[in-house]
Amino acid sequence: MATKYFEKFPKLLYTLDDRETGQLVPDIFRRVKITDELKENNAFYDLYDIQEGETPEIVASKFYGDPGLHWIILSYNDIIDPRFEWPLTEYELVRYIEGKYGPGSLNDINRVENLQGFAIASTFVLLNLAPGITGRLVLGGPNDPVQLPANHAPPAVNSVYITNYQRETFLNEQKRKIKILKPEVVSSIVDTFETLITK
């Protein structure tokens, strides 16, 4: 039943040297979209939390018995680039944070939030630093409560400091909940896809 995503795409001749040489490649400008009606009707899907280390291929294998159907998982959830729209593993997340904010920055202050989780302007932290104190926090580990140097100004009333690690972990966790198209619908989706992509 499985169709590799680009397997059925019509082919185009691609050349870089005025057609002296070339090769056939899938016509990636073609696209078949799953309808919003199908995506929004909860009779057709179940909710699922992506587990640590699961890839789209692993999830497709788990639910459909075929890792080649990972494109259905991605398409059904409007994921265009799984490198940035799929949850990172803990190791990848730490590397991402250090790449984004700099080495050793996991526990640096990222923002100040009120108790409802809304950000107070991030410049608040910088404006309230005591002379000679950087934004770096003194923590024993990524999940420890924030501890600031003694001469650091406290956060605003009813607010908390959020570290780079805490903020990026929160954003990463938001990507875990996806919709899984029910297996009994998948074969008709594959058949429709194969028909439409060749038109």
pLDDT at residue 131, rounded to an integer: 45
- Residues 104, 54 share a domain: no
Query: Per the confidence metrics, is the pTM higher than 0.75?
Result: no
pLDDT at residue 122, rounded to an integer: 47
Local confidence pLDDT in tens for the 199 residues of the chain: 445 666 776 677 788 887 788 888 876 677 677 888 888 888 999 999 999 999 999 999 999 999 999 999 999 999 999 998 999 999 999 999 999 999 999 988 888 777 777 776 544 444 344 444 444 433 334 444 444 444 455 555 567 788 899 999 999 999 999 999 999 999 888 887 777 777 7
- Residues 181, 166 share a domain: no
pLDDT at residue 155, rounded to an integer: 57
- Residues 105, 139 share a domain: yes
pLDDT at residue 115, rounded to an integer: 74
pLDDT at residue 108, rounded to an integer: 86
- Residues 193, 162 share a domain: no
* Number of domains the chain is built from: 2
Give domain status of residue 3, yes or no: no
- Residues 183, 111 share a domain: no
Q: Which residue range is the domain that position 31 belongs to?
A: 11-87+177-197
- Residues 134, 66 share a domain: no
Give domain status of residue 1, yes or no: no
pLDDT at residue 5, rounded to an integer: 66
The label of the residue with tokens 């990463």 reads 172
- Residues 128, 96 share a domain: yes
- Residues 98, 160 share a domain: yes
The label of the residue with tokens 């997340």 reads 93
- Residues 94, 169 share a domain: yes
56-64 helix and 183-197 helix, angle to the nearest 10 degrees = 120
